[in-house]
């Protein structure tokens, strides 16, 4: 099954936590519906400009799903939902008010390099998953 081109995850390509999350999603995306783009890459930068966001806005996990832009905790929870069982049970956290979810998200985003480290350059996908990356 070809991945749905309307399901693109934009992520910080030099963040170890972010790239680790992308690798985890790839392993658990048994239907192969997700595509990925680094926010530092051509497609990510064009997307940020199109959303009138600063091109340096790398601390935000963005999920473009069927033309709708989701970000931060809402994006993460929707990805879990779209992965199917058992990961979709995490979507129950959507019941927590967004301002609380996003406060936790912001704390992690602010400290992600300190806690998990960073790479000198964006991750290079392996041959097996290269077709899942756009831009």
Q: What is the 3-state secondary structure (H, E, C) of 9-49?
A: EEECCCEHHHHHHHHHHHHHCCCCCCEEEECCCHHHHHHHH
Antiparallel, parallel or unpaired: β 7-11 and 62-65: antiparallel
Helices (H) and strands (E) in the chain, counts: 4, 4
Tokens of 100: 């609380």
Q: Are 16 and 116 in contact (CB under 8 A)?
A: yes
Inform me whether the pLDDT recorded for 90 exceeds 50. yes
Q: pTM of the full predicted structure?
A: 0.87
123-133 pLDDT, tens per residue? Answer: 677 778 888 99
25-49 pLDDT, tens per residue? Answer: 999 999 999 999 999 888 888 888 8
Q: Which 3 state secondary structure label does DSSP give 84? A: coil
């Amino acid at each position: 099954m070809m991945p749905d081109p309307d399901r693109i995850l934009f992520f910080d390509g030099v963040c170890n936590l972010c790239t680790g999350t992308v690798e985890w999603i790839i392993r658990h995306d048994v239907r192969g519906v997700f595509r990925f783009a680094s926010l530092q890459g051509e497609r990510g930068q064009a997307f940020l400009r199109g959303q009138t966001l600063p091109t340096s806005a790398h601390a935000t996990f963005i999920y473009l799903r069927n033309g709708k832009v989701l970000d931060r905790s809402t994006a993460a929870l929707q990805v879990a939902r779209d992965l199917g069982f058992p990961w979709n049970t995490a979507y129950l956290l959507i019941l927590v008010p967004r301002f609380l979810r996003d406060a936790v998200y912001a704390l992690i985003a602010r400290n992600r390099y300190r806690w998990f480290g960073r790479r000198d350059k964006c991750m290079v996908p392996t041959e097996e998953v290269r077709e899942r990356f756009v831009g």
